[in-house]
Structure 1
Amino acid sequence: MVAFGKKLKERQIQEWQGYYINYKLMKKKVRQYAEQIGVGSEERRHVLKDFSRMLDNQIEKIVLFLLEQQGLLASRIAKLGEWQEALQQQPDISQLDELREAYREVGRDLLKLLYFVELNAVGLRKILKKFDKRLGYKFTDYYVKTRANHPYSQLQQVFKHVGLGAVVGALSRNLVELQDRQGSYLSIYDQPALPLQDPIIITIKSAIDRLTYSTNFLRFMAQHALIMQDELPSPIDDQVEDQQYHFMSLLLNLVNTFLYMVNTYIIVPTADDYAMSLGAAATVCGVVIGAMAVAQVFSSVYFSAWSNRSYFRPLVFSSIVLFAGNAMYALAYDFNSIAILLIGRLFCGLGSARAVNRRYISDCVPIKVRMQASAGFVSASALGMACGPALAGLLQYKFTFFNLTFNEVTLPGWVMAGAWLVYLVWLWVSFKEPSRESEEKLYSTEPKVESSENDSLENGFKQPLLISSEKKQHEEDGDQEGDGSEEGPEDSRLPATSIASAYRLLTPSVKVQLLIYFMLKYAMEILLSESSVITSYYFRWSTSSVAVFLACLGLTVLPVNVVVGSYISNMFEDRQILLASEIVVLIGIIFSFHLFVPYSVPQYVISGLIMFVSAEVLEGVNLSLLSRVMSSRLSRGTYNGGLLSTEAGTIARVIADATITLAGYLGESRLLNVTLLPSLFICVSSILATLYTYNSLY
């Protein structure tokens, strides 16, 4: 295995090596601080000031070199501009081609400079995290607060590529003018709908987006899937673009995701009526809806482990179990058994293969299309969430067939059972199980076994070396790079082997992000699961009305992500959007309470819309930050970051649904306020926790 320091050095541009952050030296310094503090020979104040001074010097070295290179690039573009002016007077086709290539050469050098900045940004984040973990200080909070917002901040120069945007603009404008359509006087400023499609500019824009976490709709949607990307940039990542993958298998995974979300929400508008038809209280709908989430807590773990060996078999198992679960859910009406109803929903939860769907994208989809596949995963979930209630609203029929009852409460079960049966046949005929060997080759971007550590982390595979061999190699790397023992558990390349070991890898920042994810899932589940009971009690809404309301909420997901991904996330930092979204969720919760005035439809609809939309915005930035602050050991294996976030969200849903049922014993008149109180408390707690770790989210 290759230690981070060695990997960082391998990806450096040789002629610029003296200008990179000296990660090895700073890591050695952190180890010395730990030893000195351990024997009581060093004071905390002195350590903070000494390390701050060292970090300032490193950043200044980077920034001054960056400014020097920017000046050289600007000078080259200015000379090429003079050449271009001369050619406009006396056009020469051969020289125009030569000039165009000269501009592209400047673009390639600019791309090298962007990779230089990004490598240093990753190194800075790593050393700040290592200092906090090793010494137990909140150094990152102190350093970012005192440096990032200063008017002469050199830290911002590294993380915000100040000045490079102007160089990109000059390149883009001049290359547009050199295109064959130059006679039309088109400009990059006049025609934003017709951007320059020159490959080098597209690559540069992608590098800038990655450096600043600037984003677009597609990237923002992909963040929701929490599929890890390589944190160390490398131009050679593009080599995998020509590799083949099985599109139909990817499509089947996305269809599985869509159907499962339809299955989850198709019963929400009718769960209270079904419970009452079987002799239970309307608020038992919380248990009916939550039973699926209870089982999913366990199924997420074994499906994640199963996907280490196969994708086809767990998907087949999932389809069979979901078919059986939905059939039992529908049959419970004729058997007049609430037990069969709940067992059917438990079976549906045991068939949750979302861990397999996510792992397939991470393991088997080439880097070229992984972002699109991740966005497809999230879009399929969102569409399923909208289609579930909408479909329930359409199933307003009643008839019997072979002594089986088909009505508005049983039809969701029968329809989903049929859908899973059709899916199972399609899966059996069309799915192609990828070979593990081909997957290893697909994502190996370097010829040596020590290929990109983060590529292997993304893929989630165990290395074909014995543990003892891995430890030996790690020690050798440590001797060469000064890693030594201070790498500790965090930088071990082995994935977490249990929920407990994964939990021990959680830093305060990661715990806060998981708390936020828990909060938003809890608030959304309360809103959705009790909607049929609340609207029936206060407004006498029919099943169709509830279905339309829930479907409209689900349909806001994609438009909201378009706005946030294309505009808001490019204007503000993720941590700013995170805090603002939490505050808006809090406003939505407060506005939802029934206090002194009669409860009205506008109050319920507007407050629900505020809560749901802000929670959707919050989920995207929350998972984006979570992927940046969590340990690399949690990016692969069975107990990965995706599983932890899924478990946090699923447990939140279970507790929310249990809260609805328990609050029902106090009466439907108190249900709304009683269920909102925990949401209010958790939301306030998450805001305070965010403020506590705000400067570590950098």
Structure 2
Amino acid sequence: MVAFGKKLKETQIQEWQGYYINYKLMKKKVKRYAQQLEVGAQNHHHVLKDFSKMLDTQIEKIVMFLLEQQGQLASRLSSLGEQQDALSQQSNSSKIVELREAYRAVGRDLLRLLFFVEMNAIGLRKILKKFDKRFGYRFTNYYVKTRANHPYSQLKQVFRHVGIGAVVGALSRNLAELQDHQGSYISIYDQPALPLPDPIIHSIKAAVDRLTDSTTFLQFLGKHAFIVQEDLPTPSEDHVDERYHFMSLLLNLVNTFLYMVNTYIIVPTADNYSLRLGAAATVCGAVIGSMAVAQLFSSVYFSAWSNKSYLRPLVFSSIVLLVGNTLYALAYDLDSILVLLIGRLFCGLGSARAVNRRYISDCVPQKLRMQASAGFVSASALGMACGPALACLFQTNFKIYKLTFNEDTLPGWVMSLAWLVYLLWLWISFREPQEVKENLMPQEANAGLLVNVAVEDGFTQPLLLNSQAKQQDEGGDQECDDDEEASEEVHKPATSIVLAYRLLTPSVKVQLFIYFMLKYAMEIVLAESSVITGYYFIWTTSRVAMFLACLGLTVLPVNIVVGGYISNMFEERQVLLASEIMVCIGILLSFHIVIPYSVPQYIFSALITFVSAEVLEGVNLSLLSRVMSSRLSRGTYNGGLLSTEAGTLARVIADGTITLSGYLGESRLLNVTLLPSLFICISSIVATCFTYNSLY
């Protein structure tokens, strides 16, 4: 990340160096505390208090300087406003141009101030993470609980930036007014979306959004893909542009869409298919889950394969899925439940979602990556809705030679044809990127998840340089320590699942557990829907398919509301906890106790559970990307793979639960499968409460 650090260093102002967080001094303190605790010279209580006092001093220094600079900017804006009032009575184009440029100069200085705050905010997060790593994850919870929630919190000034909005508003209003001197008055308050807003306002808004974690619908939707935007464009962006090919990106998104269709197209008919092959209806859990079982393994080898190629794993995926769907369709005429299960296993072995994610993270330019991530999630959501919707159209029964085409086999035949067409399109149109990722610079080899590496290295390097002026006597041994950290934490990705697991902090483990919980709850709702509705309400396949399609169609509207509004009104950790509680309420409402089970109860409870889990997924993955180590941002065993494995394992266990519960009878299936969901959900809520303050 040398180039990225250089980019940030260039934004610094020389005379502000004394006001940055003294990261080197604080890091040395952490090391000294560790030594003192080892020999018994200090106790944990004293260490917490002493380091808190030092951190308070550092934050106060930053905040006082921030307020001082805001005052200077406000004074300059006030002076320019007086000049603008004087110009309003005359038409002097040269003076208007000068005034506009003066406003832009204020905007550029505000942008520099925002970068100053951003670097210090990341330095604070990094030192908190380092302290927790050394002392058992105690400090962040204590410090945030006592400081961030206090009415006089200076910590919120650094992370929430109260007062910046007033300066941005004054700049926007006056620049907008200067855009039109032809008579009509333009106001940002009357017309929030101006046709030609000044470019400096765009830059300032983007910086403020990063600092305050403000989100748009596209950003929130993109978080579901676990591909997070970097804070600033990297110097290598032009190089990445050369590897970008729109048709190749489109083919990756189509692969994502078809795979999700393939996953859910059999859900409405899996129970009937199992019955016709002589198995119990609840074997549908094993039929649906066998795809997820195979995906546990395919995610690993596809992630490793995409180190060297994108085209070859996509071709292999298409061929395997073609074979798997053909076997699934042939199982009816062969009268073999074993062939049916093998067909679904093949479908799982063809899951190339790791390749789809990795192509976006490695080969899509920074400016388009969020849109591509949102496209990935949209394709998944659309496939999830289209799968059951297509299933309800297959209400036919005919034979061609000895092959049967009915509602059970048509999903297999249709998907086989779809993968054949896709394979031909892929072979003709896909363009392999020019360079193999293993030959790229370490900072460019991102996989599955673009964790903000700046947290670990890029932003902190300038902070270390800033404090050198005051800490010359500490430079020698500290530089060695910094180099060691850069080598250990940034440049060496995890080389095995075991090593990747060791890099997980308690906060990350809780986030992965929450991801497991929400995928488990969603799979229970979806996979057993045909059995439950058939037993209690005697629903037809078409009705089940339409119900599942409607659930899938809620994904995008829900994300519009949460991404555009709710996530900007509340902290992500607040939305996280609230969503978990709503999932728990949805599960509780699903139980069949005493009173007759009704259609409204089932639909309402399923909708609450599914929608809440969807909201939870976006917030959970957003927080996960911030707390996960940068060593899990690259290589085969990356954070994206870990989250995929957690979600896939949840689906496997949920489908297995449905199959095993079937031995108790369909009358008990609902309550028996909901009990583990309830227990896991309550456990995740408790775990979240224990790590709540570390998600700041």
The equivalent residue for 1:651 is 649
Measured at CA, do residues 79 and 645 of structure 1 come closer, stay the same or move farther in structure 2, by a change above 3 Å? same
Structure 1 CA distance for aligned equivalents of residues 264 and 569 of structure 2: 34
The equivalent residue for 2:309 is 310
Structure 2 CA distance for aligned equivalents of residues 4 and 203 of structure 1: 18
The equivalent residue for 1:444 is none
User: Residue 366 of structure 1: CA displacement?
Assistant: 0.6
The equivalent residue for 1:573 is 571
Structure 2 CA distance for aligned equivalents of residues 165 and 404 of structure 1: 67
Counterpart of 1:664 (choices 662, 665, 669) is 662
8 A Cα contact 1:24 1:483, kept in partner: no
User: Residue 98 of structure 1: CA displacement?
Assistant: 2.0
User: Residue 230 of structure 1: CA displacement?
Assistant: 3.0
Structure 2 CA distance for aligned equivalents of residues 439 and 219 of structure 1: 29
User: Residue 288 of structure 1: CA displacement?
Assistant: 0.2
Q: Does 1:491 align with 2:495?
A: no
Query: RMSD between aligned alpha carbons?
Result: 2.3
Q: Does 1:404 align with 2:411?
A: no
**Which region of structure 1 is more displaced relative to structure 2, 214-223 or 192-201?**
192-201
Structure 2 CA distance for aligned equivalents of residues 35 and 488 of structure 1: 22
Measured at CA, do residues 156 and 631 of structure 1 come closer, stay the same or move farther in structure 2, by a change above 3 Å? same
Q: Does 1:436 align with 2:435?
A: yes
The equivalent residue for 1:636 is 634
8 A Cα contact 2:290 2:345, kept in partner: yes
**Which region of structure 1 is more displaced relative to structure 2, 192-201 or 100-109?**
192-201
Opposite residue 131 of structure 2, the aligned amino acid is F
Deviations 1:95-123 (A, max 9, x none): 21222222112111111111111111111
8 A Cα contact 2:3 2:234, kept in partner: no
User: Residue 94 of structure 1: CA displacement?
Assistant: 1.9
Secondary structure in 1 aligned to 2:266?
coil
8 A Cα contact 2:23 2:123, kept in partner: yes
Structure 1 CA distance for aligned equivalents of residues 172 and 92 of structure 2: 21
Measured at CA, do residues 307 and 560 of structure 1 come closer, stay the same or move farther in structure 2, by a change above 3 Å? same
8 A Cα contact 2:228 2:449, kept in partner: no
User: Residue 489 of structure 1: CA displacement?
Assistant: 8.8
**Which region of structure 1 is more displaced relative to structure 2, 135-144 or 340-349?**
135-144
Measured at CA, do residues 643 and 487 of structure 1 come closer, stay the same or move farther in structure 2, by a change above 3 Å? same
Measured at CA, do residues 438 and 101 of structure 1 come closer, stay the same or move farther in structure 2, by a change above 3 Å? farther
The equivalent residue for 1:141 is 141
Structure 1 unaligned runs (5+)? 442-448, 462-476
Measured at CA, do residues 574 and 489 of structure 1 come closer, stay the same or move farther in structure 2, by a change above 3 Å? farther
8 A Cα contact 1:581 1:618, kept in partner: yes
Measured at CA, do residues 234 and 265 of structure 1 come closer, stay the same or move farther in structure 2, by a change above 3 Å? closer
Opposite residue 500 of structure 1, the aligned amino acid is V
**Which region of structure 1 is more displaced relative to structure 2, 665-674 or 46-55?**
46-55
Within a 5 Å distance, the mapping from 1:357-506 to structure 2 comes to 357-436=356-435, 457=446, 479=477, 481=479, 483=481, 487=485, 491-506=489-504
**Which region of structure 1 is more displaced relative to structure 2, 606-615 or 64-73?**
64-73
The equivalent residue for 1:291 is 290
Deviations 1:363-397 (A, max 9, x none): 00010100000010011000000000000011111
Secondary structure in 2 aligned to 1:310?
coil
Deviations 1:547-597 (A, max 9, x none): 000000000000000000000000000000000000000000000000010
Structure 2 unaligned runs (5+)? 451-474
The equivalent residue for 1:84 is 84
The equivalent residue for 1:264 is 263
User: Residue 193 of structure 1: CA displacement?
Assistant: 4.3
Deviations 1:291-320 (A, max 9, x none): 000000000000000000000000000000
Structure 2 CA distance for aligned equivalents of residues 518 and 71 of structure 1: 48
Deviations 1:171-219 (A, max 9, x none): 1111111113763223111123446532111111111111111101000
Query: May I ask how many residue pairs the two structures share in their alignment?
Result: 672
Q: What percent identity do the matched residue pairs reach?
A: 76
8 A Cα contact 1:261 1:381, kept in partner: yes
Measured at CA, do residues 168 and 242 of structure 1 come closer, stay the same or move farther in structure 2, by a change above 3 Å? farther
User: Residue 403 of structure 1: CA displacement?
Assistant: 1.6
The equivalent residue for 2:695 is 697
The equivalent residue for 1:603 is 601
Secondary structure in 2 aligned to 1:636?
coil
The equivalent residue for 1:320 is 319
What TM-score does the superposition give when structure 1 sets the normalisation length?
0.92
8 A Cα contact 2:289 2:655, kept in partner: yes
Opposite residue 562 of structure 1, the aligned amino acid is I
The equivalent residue for 2:61 is 61
Secondary structure in 2 aligned to 1:406?
strand
Structure 1 CA distance for aligned equivalents of residues 679 and 544 of structure 2: 27
Measured at CA, do residues 213 and 484 of structure 1 come closer, stay the same or move farther in structure 2, by a change above 3 Å? closer
What TM-score does the superposition give when structure 2 sets the normalisation length?
0.93
Q: Does 1:525 align with 2:523?
A: yes
The equivalent residue for 2:99 is 99
Structure 1 CA distance for aligned equivalents of residues 476 and 435 of structure 2: 30
Deviations 1:112-145 (A, max 9, x none): 1111111111110110010011122410000000
Counterpart of 2:617 (choices 592, 616, 619) is 619
8 A Cα contact 1:159 1:212, kept in partner: yes
Opposite residue 123 of structure 1, the aligned amino acid is G
8 A Cα contact 2:308 2:438, kept in partner: no
8 A Cα contact 2:308 2:437, kept in partner: no
Structure 1 CA distance for aligned equivalents of residues 11 and 627 of structure 2: 22
**Which region of structure 1 is more displaced relative to structure 2, 107-116 or 545-554?**
107-116
User: Residue 9 of structure 1: CA displacement?
Assistant: 6.3
**Which region of structure 1 is more displaced relative to structure 2, 408-417 or 479-488?**
479-488
